[in-house]
Amino acid sequence: MTSAETLRALLAEDTCHIMPCCFDALSAKLIAQEGYALTFMSGFAASASRIGAPDLGLMSYGEVLDQVRNITDATDIPLIGDGDTGYGNAMNVRRTVAGFAKAGAASIMIEDQLAPKRCGHTPGKAVVSRDEAFDRVRAAVDEREALRARGGDILILARTDARHEHGLGEAIDRAAKFAEIGADILFVEAPRSEGEMREVCRSLPGPKMANIVEGGDTPDLPNAALHDIGYTIAAYPLSLMAAAMQAMVTTLRAMRQDQRPNQMDFGSLRSRIGFDDYYAASERYESSLRLRSDD
């Protein structure tokens, strides 16, 4: 199956998939190695990793697309890519969807924030008008259909951040229209209580995604509770980035004291990155064997 077909099959299962979010090829590879069925390229984490800057619309479309391509090249599990606001008007949205599909993404998220967008759990968010929001999703769906006609495929994850400025009712109304237009997955960002999460899932059709930011606005509930509420995917956008940053800071401070904290041993490090697989595949080539002996 294609990655989009694999994602559709996952969405049809009666479960809430735990989805650790990646930020580069290596983090995506680790997620796959640990047996997770899918991943999401977090814009927050990718911006931090790639350009060392906050997720405030600073990464260009080309940079984001390159990051998507690096991730899909490194792993076979379905990737949902963060397409932000689509990088312009409705025609830009279509180009963005086409680019993500060509890069191998199983799905793309398009949101209704005013550009430049912000992380969904930070202050200062604003959303575009209903008409502009609906046009973005309509353009994304149109491009999906055009791709299918040419033998391609991608799923559309439609996100609304309207809860912050306009309340939960407006967010649900927007998401319901996204579904009517043809979005495959719905994402109402930052409900603030379990009751709000239940209202979202009770009110909207099809697969829904919860976004769990440790310390953010949405309650960090156990996976069984998220499934009971009605979510199909539970995204954890910052868990790996926060863990990696904490480990690096701890190591850097320990090194100043001439200490080494517990860390992955060199053999495991090489194996996880892919040295063992590379050498196993290269054994049929004599010149590669010589390279290995010189390593």
User: Both 251 and 223 in a single domain?
Assistant: no
Domain hosting 285: range is: 246-294
Quote the pTM value: 0.93
User: Both 40 and 175 in a single domain?
Assistant: yes
Does residue 123 carry a pLDDT above 80? no
Question: How high is the pLDDT of residue 262?
Answer: 85
Does residue 295 carry a pLDDT above 60? no
User: Both 240 and 264 in a single domain?
Assistant: no
CA–CA gap between residue 17 and residue 236 (Å, rounded): 11
CA–CA gap between residue 241 and residue 45 (Å, rounded): 6
CA–CA gap between residue 168 and residue 23 (Å, rounded): 29
The interaxial angle of helices 25-33 and 266-273, nearest 10 deg, is 100
Question: How high is the pLDDT of residue 38?
Answer: 98
CA–CA gap between residue 37 and residue 187 (Å, rounded): 19
Beta carbons of 139 and 94 less than 8 angstroms apart = yes
User: Both 46 and 146 in a single domain?
Assistant: yes
User: Both 275 and 210 in a single domain?
Assistant: no
Alpha-carbon distances of 261 from 74, 242, 257, rounded to whole Å: 29, 17, 11
User: Both 219 and 140 in a single domain?
Assistant: yes
Q: In sequence order, what are the beta bridge partners of 18? A: 234
User: Both 128 and 216 in a single domain?
Assistant: yes
- 40-44, 93-97, 171-175, 258-262: least confidently modelled range: 258-262
User: Both 207 and 101 in a single domain?
Assistant: yes
Query: What's the whole-number mean pLDDT along residues 222-249?
Result: 97
Determine which helix (DSSP H) or strand (DSSP E) holds 278, and give its type and residue range: helix 275-282
User: Both 171 and 66 in a single domain?
Assistant: yes
Domains identified in the chain, total number: 2
Residues 171-221 have pLDDT tens digits of 999 999 999 999 999 999 999 999 999 999 999 999 999 999 999 999 999
Give the model's confidence band at 6: pLDDT under 50 very low, under 70 low, under 90 confident, else very high: very high
CA–CA gap between residue 23 and residue 43 (Å, rounded): 8
Does residue 120 carry a pLDDT above 90? no
User: Both 289 and 232 in a single domain?
Assistant: no
Give the CATH number of the domain where residue 172 resides: 3.20.20.60
Give the model's confidence band at 3: pLDDT under 50 very low, under 70 low, under 90 confident, else very high: very high
DSSP state string for 172-222: HHHHHHHHHHT-SEEEE----SHHHHHHHHHHS-S-BEEE--TTSSS----
Mean model confidence pLDDT for the chain: 94
User: Both 128 and 256 in a single domain?
Assistant: no
User: Both 177 and 254 in a single domain?
Assistant: no
Residues 58-67 have pLDDT tens digits of 999 999 999 9
Question: How high is the pLDDT of residue 130?
Answer: 97
Give the model's confidence band at 284: pLDDT under 50 very low, under 70 low, under 90 confident, else very high: confident
Query: What's the whole-number mean pLDDT along residues 266-282?
Result: 93
